[in-house]
Amino acid sequence: GNVNITSVKSGVFAHDDISIEGGTLNVKGGTNGLKSEGTVTVKGGKTVVSSGTKKNDFSVYNLKGFVYSGGTLIAAGNQIKTVSSTATPYAIATISDSAEAGKKVAVSVDGKEIASVTPHASFKTVIVLAPTIKEGSTMTVDIDGEKKDFTMSNGFNELKID
């Protein structure tokens, strides 16, 4: 199913673990997007997250781990926790100057769009996880029409956008 959450505080908050296994989850958090005092696990589905405007707001925050094994996740905010376990390459784009709210971020792999988000608040980071991201593939990050290409390597890829 589809779940849309808009909150003045954290969009999704758990004292334990958060597990996303399917469906479509759209989150607009006033502070953090997804926040877990345990582990955040993404196993399937499509997850789109936008977090708040404060410097210390996270699009995805966890205390014990961030595990990815399937599905697509794109999350924009001022900070992001790195993934602690994944067999798939992934990317975190860091923007030198924060981008304005309402600027669409579209991510393509080898010419095919895999995810997009239009953050409701200004943002400095975007994380993208998807099974189509492979070592050697070309990822294009398009922020409101300004595109930048990156060649993906295995594991964590830090993409710097000026």
Give dist(CA 121, CA 49) in Å, integer: 11
Q: What is the mean pLDDT of the chain?
A: 95
Give dist(CA 4, CA 24) in Å, integer: 8
Confidence of residue 154 (pLDDT cuts 50, 70, 90): very high
The C-alpha angle with vertex 38 and arms to 34 and 41, in degrees rounded to 5, equals: 60
Give dist(CA 130, CA 112) in Å, integer: 12
Structural contact between residues 48 and 115, judged by C-beta atoms closer than 8 angstroms: yes
Do the bridges between strand 18-29 and strand 39-50 make them parallel or antiparallel, or are there none, so unpaired? parallel
What pLDDT is recorded for position 134?
Answer: 96
73-116 tens-digit pLDDT: 999 999 988 899 999 999 999 998 889 999 999 999 999 999 99
What pLDDT is recorded for position 117?
Answer: 97
Q: What is the mean pLDDT of residues 12-36?
A: 96
* pTM of the predicted model as reported, rounded to 2 decimal places: 0.94
Give the CB-side neighbour count of residue 144, counting CA atoms within 13 A.
9
What pLDDT is recorded for position 109?
Answer: 97
Beta-bridged to residue 86, according to DSSP, are none
Q: 92, 76, 89: which is closest to 144 by C-alpha?
A: 76
Helical H segments across 15-82, by residue range: none
Helical H segments across the chain, by residue range: none
User: Residue 56 pLDDT > 80, yes or no?
Assistant: no
Give dist(CA 134, CA 157) in Å, integer: 11
Confidence of residue 55 (pLDDT cuts 50, 70, 90): confident
Helix (H, G, I), strand (E, B) or coil at 46: strand
The full length of the chain comes to 162
Structural contact between residues 26 and 4, judged by C-beta atoms closer than 8 angstroms: yes
- Lowest pLDDT segment from 36-40, 43-47, 93-97, 135-139: 93-97
What pLDDT is recorded for position 53?
Answer: 74
Helix (H, G, I), strand (E, B) or coil at 61: strand
